[in-house]
Amino acid sequence: MSGIQIFRNVAFKDTSFANLMQKRIYNVLQIATKYDAFMLEDDGRVDEQIFNEYTSLSLRYPPRFTQVTTEEEALNELSNLGFDLIIFMPNMVDRDIFGTAKKIKQCYPEIPIVVLTPFSKEVSKSIANEDLSAIDYVFSWLGNSELLLAIIKLIEDKMNAPDDTKSVGVQIILLVEDSIRFYSSTLPHLYRFVLEQSLEFAKEALNEHQKTLRMRGRPKIKLARTYEEAIRIFNDYKDNILGVISDIRFMRENEKDPAAGYKFCSYVRKEGGPIPIILESSDPENLKYAKELGASFIYKQSKTYARELKKKIMQRFGFGDFVILNPETKEEIMRIKDLKDLQYKMMKIPDDSLRYHLSRNH
């Protein structure tokens, strides 16, 4: 086949998975009132919940949680043991946790700080008026232990993305969303799906050790909460973006812009070409932006949101079977299930279909 002669001159080499994910979260300091801690552990101890989540996804090295209730106890623990993450659970009435966070950040600027709040309108209003300069992320506790896993993995991805993308070209999924409640709900779904798909990919490894190493090569997830942050992340990882999932209304130039997502994804189209895009909105009228950009669209208030998100990611981001299409009719020509199947079917792929998929970085 003339269309794939170029492959004969390409030198392939094994990916060094062992060099990936060098920075991890091993020790977590949880600062919470006894009541907050009780609410968090309503379904069982935090350590047990995290261990169960890690085990269900064949992940290793679940972090250890240490709980304290006061600023003094927190500073004492920090001076005695190296922590990789601090989680605050604020009682908004009785405690100035943001002031405490600022003091801790000044002493330990390298440790990420997360605020995990119960969801209510009062809490949201209170947070909007706080100085969040010392806080890396704010999440809304919705009673789902998978959120803790997502928080840990999000921060690990943030720490490892610069080295892992440069060394072996690990890919990035960019989520752009400013609603604390919504990204607190979406990230657990997104991580579970990505980790499950990576587990499927790892099954092709020869042994358990190789499976574990391959899991390190999964796509990383980056969260942007403003237009400017989304632009910065996209520019930093432009050559490694697997796909973009973006809200349409979020902060741009310090104001809520009802078309910020459209403007950002227009920039992605201009600079990144055929990168898969999924637009999300609570306003069905915004479907027009998705059509204009050739993107998928999900209604955020849909009762089947999680299922639709998984389906769109499968279709647009190249997870699951690799479906070879006819470029003209978009009809399925063949389906490739794994690397062994690809080996058998590679020479049967029509030239025009091969060019179509390669040109779109599939």
Q: What is the mean pLDDT of residues 294-314?
A: 95
| Res 274: pLDDT | 86
**Residues composing the chain:** 362
Helix (H) or strand (E) holding 140: strand 137-141
Reported as a pLDDT band with limits 50, 70 and 90, residue 10 is: very low
| Res 114: pLDDT | 96
| Res 141: pLDDT | 83
For residues 90 and 139, what is the distance between their CA atoms, to the nearest angstrom? Answer: 11
The percentage of residues in the chain with a pLDDT greater than 90, rounded to a whole number, is: 52
- Of 80-84, 229-233, 349-353, which range is least confident? 349-353
| Res 1: pLDDT | 46
Residue 152 domain-assigned (yes or no): no
Burial environment of residue 69 by CB neighbours within 10 A (0 to 12, 13 to 18, 19 or more): middle
Residue 350 domain-assigned (yes or no): yes
Burial 216-235 (b: 16+ CB within 10 A, else e): bbbbbbbbbbbbebbbebbe
Residue 248 has pLDDT above 90, yes or no: yes
For residues 238 and 305, what is the distance between their CA atoms, to the nearest angstrom? Answer: 28
| Res 12: pLDDT | 45
Residue 342 domain-assigned (yes or no): yes
| Res 40: pLDDT | 65
Residue 166 domain-assigned (yes or no): no
- Of 231-235, 240-244, 320-324, which range is least confident? 320-324
Residue 329 domain-assigned (yes or no): yes
* Residue given tokens 């915004």 in the structure block: 286
| Res 273: pLDDT | 81
| Res 2: pLDDT | 46
The residue ranking higher by pLDDT, 362 or 29, is 29
* Residue given tokens 């980790």 in the structure block: 195
Residue 227 has pLDDT above 90, yes or no: yes
Residue 14 has pLDDT above 80, yes or no: no
Residue spans of beta strands (DSSP E) within 155-265: 172-176, 220-224, 241-247, 250-252, 255-257
| Res 214: pLDDT | 64
- Of 38-42, 53-57, 270-274, 332-336, which range is least confident? 38-42
Domain count, the chain: 1
Residue 73 has pLDDT above 90, yes or no: yes
Residue 302 has pLDDT above 80, yes or no: yes
pLDDT tens, 89-130? 876 445 678 888 999 999 999 999 999 987 766 666 677 777
Reported as a pLDDT band with limits 50, 70 and 90, residue 317 is: confident
**What is the greatest pairwise CA distance in the chain?**
72
| Res 202: pLDDT | 65
| Res 204: pLDDT | 60
Mean pLDDT of the chain: 85
Q: What is the mean pLDDT of residues 266-295?
A: 95
Residue 337 domain-assigned (yes or no): yes
pLDDT tens, 135-188? 999 999 877 778 999 999 999 999 999 999 998 889 999 999 999 999 999 999
| Res 251: pLDDT | 96
Residue 87 domain-assigned (yes or no): no
Print the domain residue range for 332: 322-359
Residue 251 domain-assigned (yes or no): no
Number of helices (H), then strands (E), belonging to the chain: the values are: 14, 14
Q: What is the mean pLDDT of residues 3-16?
A: 51
